[in-house]
Chain A
Amino acid sequence: MNWILENLDLIGTLALEHLRQSLWAIAAGFLISLPLGWAAWRYRSLRGLVVTGTGLLYTIPSLALLMILPVVTGMSAISEANLIVSLTVYALAIMVRCVVDGLDSVDPQTRSAATAMGYGPGRRFAAVELPLAGPVILAGLRVTAVSTISLATVGILVGVTNLGYLFTNGLQRRIIPEVLAGVLAVALIALLIDLLLVLAGRWLMPWTTARPQRARRARNSAPEAVGTR
């Protein structure tokens, strides 16, 4: 416990590094998965290839990916960019499938209704399909966020400093509280980001949290409903 209190500065600095690296990867994974997922959803022939292909990325061991990527991209293996790109690859593995599933979850009748109202394809995607796919995409994004934040610690093995440092350093020096502090900090960051995503989801998709019984109560016994407000 003493170790943690004495090293709050270090933990804080590492946590910020960690958060920054993770957020880049989560954001990149999310943004890239949207057009990829859309294409896989829209063009049947692409679907198997894209969904299975990105899904398979997850089977690559993370340490191996951190070593292979520099060969492909020409980046330095110990650079932060290398870690962020690797994490983005894993984020894509989860997110692309979620975007496809999300778009699949939109009721065809709703889609057809939007077309009949006079939405062109682009506007329909932005205003109808994407928002309605939102809950499924958000669920995927939450998994991605938590998994990215936890996976990022592997960066320390190729020399990218973040909360993973507390694991390697703590193990080498046999300071167990240091390792525990790392676990705790990663978990706290994951929970925090998850909470922020849930709140953002509620704010962006208010219809998902609007309760259905309000209408019924107000209709059946209007005076009572007025009284309770």
Chain B
Amino acid sequence: MIEFDAVSKSYPGGTTAVSDFSLEVPAHRTTVFVGSSGCGKTTLLRMVNRMVDPSAGSIRIDGRDISAGSPVQLRRSIGYVMQNAGLLPHFTVAENIATVPRLKGTSRGKARQRAVELMTTVGLDSSLADRYPHQLSGGQQQRVGVARALAPEPNILLMDEPFGAVDPIVRTELQQELLRLQRELGKTIIFVTHDIDEAFLLGDQVVILSEQAQKLQVGTPSRIIESPANDFVSSFIGADRGQRALSIKQTPTGTVLVDSQGRTQGRLVDAPDLDRA
């Protein structure tokens, strides 16, 4: 469990990125921070691995204040996936994935073996092991980024808009892969995005943020869609339009659901028993 306890971050220039933010991030679940750019969501994420130190308040992982130990050791214990993958351009794919195990002193051979295993885990062909990042497509690079974050077997994964820079088809593919991985691995994930659909797809808990990381609403996707906290949330998630505002239409062949533009989106069937809310 990760706890944000009255955390603030202001910079010498007088700008405040985060102001008095508190939250419990449950273990083995995906928590998504969603908000428009500049709302402080990335700052919150980077506080967890001390890439940013809070000006006030504290962050605890499993009850232990993270400011106590060395930031370098902390970072090696937390997986971090960033936008554009952030791979080291002079390392091959296998070397990139093996980075943290190598830093922790794993032998070259063992680290490589593990890297190749992880490539399979994230759906990469092991023949790519000796390529350099610039020889891969954006989607492949992002898979390497995920594999690298998983390599030291961290309990926590921080993901900073990891699928923001890839095309929509690849993004959908990567999102499904992440859901599959998370079902298998059950990591504590904090995922940052500005895409509300992505937040609802991936998040067990979604945190909607406005300026200075003010929490507008915290809850499961179903809960937020069913009862948005206020008009702003309602308009931010698009509750009154598109595929989130469905109405029932009777047709000769059965009942269907149509969106606000009158386009049929699906068929009304009996609810299957998998409501995770």
Seen from chain A, the residues whose Cβ lies within 8 Å of a Cβ on chain B are 107, 109-110, 112-120, 123, 128, 131-132, 205, 207, 210-212, 214-216, 218-219
Contact = CB atoms under 8 A, between A and B. Distances in A.
Could you say which of A109, A117, A131, A210 has the most chain B C-beta atoms within 10 Å of its C-beta? A117
Contact of B90 (A116, A205, A212): A205
Interface in B234-257: none
B89 interface: yes
Interface string B45-77: 000010100000000000000000000111110
A214 B86 CA distance: 21
B244 to A, nearest CB: 35
B188 interface: no
A216 B128 CA distance: 12
A212 B89 CA distance: 12
Contact of A212 (B74, B75, B76, B135): B135
A116 B89 contact: no
A118 B73 contact: yes
Contacts of A119: 72, 103
Interface residues on B, range: 20 to 34
A95 B156 CA distance: 44
Interface in B1-60: 49, 51
B100 interface: yes
Contact of A215 (B74, B136, B148): B136
B264 interface: no
Contacts of A114: 88
A109 B72 contact: no
Contact of B86 (A109, A211, A212): A109
B135 A117 contact: no
Interface in B119-172: 127-128, 131-132, 134-137, 148
A113 B86 contact: yes
B90 A210 contact: no
B159 to A, nearest CB: 12
A210 B90 CA distance: 10
B88 A116 contact: no
Contacts of A215: 128, 131, 135-137
Given A112-B51, A113-B86, A212 B134 contact: yes
B132 A116 contact: no
A200 to B, nearest CB: 16
Given A205-B90, A215-B131, A109 B84 contact: yes
A117 B100 CA distance: 6
B5 to A, nearest CB: 23
Contacts of B49: 116
Could you say which of B72, B73, B76 has the most chain A C-beta atoms within 10 Å of its C-beta? B72
B61 to A, nearest CB: 15
B69 to A, nearest CB: 12
B89 A117 contact: no
Contacts of A123: 103
Nearest to B134: A212
A118 B51 contact: no
Contacts of A214: 131, 135
A210 B51 contact: no
B72 A120 contact: yes
Nearest to A120: B72
